Structure 1
Amino acid sequence: MAMRDRFPDLPPVWAAGFFAAEWIVADVLPIVAFGQPVTALLGAMLAVCGFAIAIWAAIWFGRKKTAIEPGETPKALIVEGPFRINRNPIYTGMALVLLGVAVWLGALSAVIVALGFPFVITARFIRDEEAALRKAFGQKAERYFAGTRRW
């Protein structure tokens, strides 16, 4: 299924929605405000690390010449680079960016919103992607799943 057929149900769109929700709740309902220069710096560092992990993982899709878009048939099982540590480094990178933004905003409510992102992404994308990998790569995928954490 082409990305344009799935739009707007795509991980970056979900991440943008979570980003907007974080911003709104931090402003309207901060619950506990903890914004300090050190938390802003920590948040920025988390966000930069998240971007770096996501880009590193995306490079591997190009190296392996397999589709990065959700819903496409995988042509390769990527187990190198960041995929040695985590089965979903792009989503993990997005989650770190969202957590970094929440910490940078300095509001507990924003952090709570950010913590919901992995659950949504798992339900909307990861389960289907893992099923596609099982179908395409069978036991090889099962061994990879058994030895590598999802998040």
Structure 2
Amino acid sequence: MNYRMKPLKYPWPPLLYLGACVIAVLLDDYVASAPLIDPKGTIALIAGAMIATGAIAFNVWAIHTLMLHYSSLSLHQSKRPLITDGPYRYSRNPIYLGYTLLMVAGGLMLGNGWLMIAAPIAALLTTLIAIRYEELHQLVRFGVDFERYCQRTRRWI
């Protein structure tokens, strides 16, 4: 049965992160502000901008690495190789890590503490709904090579 396992049919992680962002903004606007940060703080704004810059750079690097290997973001392509270089040396999910960091950065820059609370929740849901399933798919496709990759590279950071 596992040898026939297909990758996820829908792009759940972007939808999860987008949904978490929408909920965080609505909570901040219509319920109450989460008092985690000073919404007018210069330090929070600068820190958020630095984190956002790093997250965007990390995502661009990850996508560039996929393109160098003639791969795509889709797990549906049967010729997609196991990529273990570039940012994939440090994280098995650098794009999802970038999404999470962007939420934290947005929370700092916008003074929205709900975004900072929603970021790890979105990461957890992404792990439960998508990453574990994707990892099973890769284990079936790449076998021992994927097991070795998992032993030397963490799921997130």
> Once the two structures are superposed, what CA deviation does each residue of 1:45-77 show, in whole Å capped at 9, x if it has no partner?
212211111111011111112231255546211
2:54 maps to amino acid: C
Could you tell me which runs of 5 or more consecutive residues in structure 1 were left unpaired when the two chains were aligned: none
Q: 2:38 aligns with which of 31, 34, 38?
A: 34
Paired residue for 2:152? 147
Instruction: Provide closer, same or farther for how the CA distance between residues 74 and 16 of structure 1 changes in structure 2, counting only shifts above 3 A.
Output: farther
Instruction: Provide closer, same or farther for how the CA distance between residues 72 and 125 of structure 1 changes in structure 2, counting only shifts above 3 A.
Output: farther
Contact 1:87 1:150 in 2 (8 A): yes
Count of residues paired in the alignment: 148
Q: Distance in 2 between matches of 1:126 and 1:88?
A: 8
Alpha-carbon shift at residue 123 of structure 1 (Å)? 1.3
1:23 and 2:28 correspond: no
Matches within 5 A, 1:1-151: 6=10, 9-28=11-30, 29-32=32-35, 33-35=37-39, 36-70=41-75, 72-73=77-78, 75-151=80-156
SS in 1 for 2:131: helix
Could you tell me which runs of 5 or more consecutive residues in structure 2 were left unpaired when the two chains were aligned: 1-5
Q: Distance in 2 between matches of 1:136 and 1:45?
A: 37
Q: Distance in 2 between matches of 1:149 and 1:47?
A: 22
Alpha-carbon shift at residue 144 of structure 1 (Å)? 0.4
SS in 2 for 1:76: coil
Once the two structures are aligned, what percentage of the paired residues are identical? Answer: 28
Report the more deviating stretch, 88-97 or 42-51: 42-51
Report the more deviating stretch, 124-133 or 136-145: 124-133
Alpha-carbon shift at residue 27 of structure 1 (Å)? 2.8
- TM value normalised by structure 2: 0.83
2:154 maps to amino acid: R
